[in-house]
Chain A
Amino acid sequence: DGGITQSPKYLFRKEGQNVTLSCEQNLNHDAMYWYRQDPGQGLRLIYYSQIVNDFQKGDIAEGYSVSREKKESFPLTVTSAQKNPTAFYLCASSTQQGFGSPLHFGNGTRLTVT
């Protein structure tokens, strides 16, 4: 079955370390997204990409970086510059129709930085 795989489910890091969250999809979707979820805050957009080697900043991109070397993969790096990295991170994808296309989500990665 097609879907989005995020790994690992739980991730622990020490403050000051960069960490990369994996997101792979086999839905043949062109667009991919990263959202951050904090308690009581809903979901906030970090980065998104519609094609390989191209991506745009979302509302809260500071302290994060991404790459899109393959259509299926959109890893997110949480850098040491991110002030409050502990959160639940969700990766999503949508078809090329883009506007109005529903997002399909992965199961998320819970990142804890101490």
Chain B
Amino acid sequence: AQTVTQSQPEMSVQEAETVTLSCTYDTSENNYYLFWYKQPPSRQMILVIRQEAYKQQNATENRFSVNFQKAAKSFSLKISDSQLGDTAMYFCAFNSGENSGYSTLTFGKGTMLLVSP
């Protein structure tokens, strides 16, 4: 079974600084997708970024970027120019439903990020 590990339960950063959240996963499959989701205090789950394992280029969405290291099975999220609105729980997720066609994601336990003024 696939597992996703987020080793940082909590992190804090000051506004305008850069922070990196860690995620590692375990799988024997070759093609899969990785995601970062954000859950602010409203508890609405919001997709931050998606990465396909076959693509070597790291995904980027505005201030959010990933460092995808396939051999090391690592998928970290970098948030640049942190804003107060980035305060949220961040979940790393893995999808290997290549044979089933489903997007049944396996989630890590999350990292709570607090951005302070």
Interface residues of A (CB under 8 A from B): 31, 33, 35, 40-45, 48, 50, 58, 88, 90, 92, 94, 97-103, 105, 107-108
Whether A31 and B103, one on each chain, are in contact in the complex, defined by CB atoms closer than 8 angstroms, is yes
Q: Which residues of A contact B42 (CB under 8 A)?
A: 107
Contact with A along B57-84 (1 / 0, CB 8 A): 0000000000000000000000000000
Whether A48 and B45, one on each chain, are in contact in the complex, defined by CB atoms closer than 8 angstroms, is no
The CA of A62 and the CA of B80, in the complex, are separated in Å by: 42
Whether A48 and B91, one on each chain, are in contact in the complex, defined by CB atoms closer than 8 angstroms, is no
Q: Which residues of A contact B102 (CB under 8 A)?
A: 31, 48, 50, 98-99
Q: What would be 16 A-B contacts, judged by CB atoms less than 8 Å apart?
A: A33-B103, A40-B9, A42-B108, A43-B93, A94-B103, A98-B101, A98-B103, A99-B101, A99-B103, A100-B95, A103-B47, A103-B103, A105-B44, A105-B45, A107-B42, A107-B44
Whether A90 and B100, one on each chain, are in contact in the complex, defined by CB atoms closer than 8 angstroms, is no
> Which B-chain residue is minimally distant from A44 (CB atoms)?
B107
Given that A43-B91, A108-B43 are contacting pairs, would A101 and B109 also be in contact in the complex, using a CB cutoff of 8 Å? no
Q: Which residues of B contact A48 (CB under 8 A)?
A: 102, 104
Residue among B103, B106, B107, B109 making CB contact with A100, cutoff 8 Å: B103
Residue among B33, B107, B108 making CB contact with A99, cutoff 8 Å: B33
The CA of A48 and the CA of B9, in the complex, are separated in Å by: 28
Whether B109 and A41, one on each chain, are in contact in the complex, defined by CB atoms closer than 8 angstroms, is yes
In the complex, B17 has a CB within 8 A of chain A: no
B20 CB to nearest chain A CB (Å)? 19
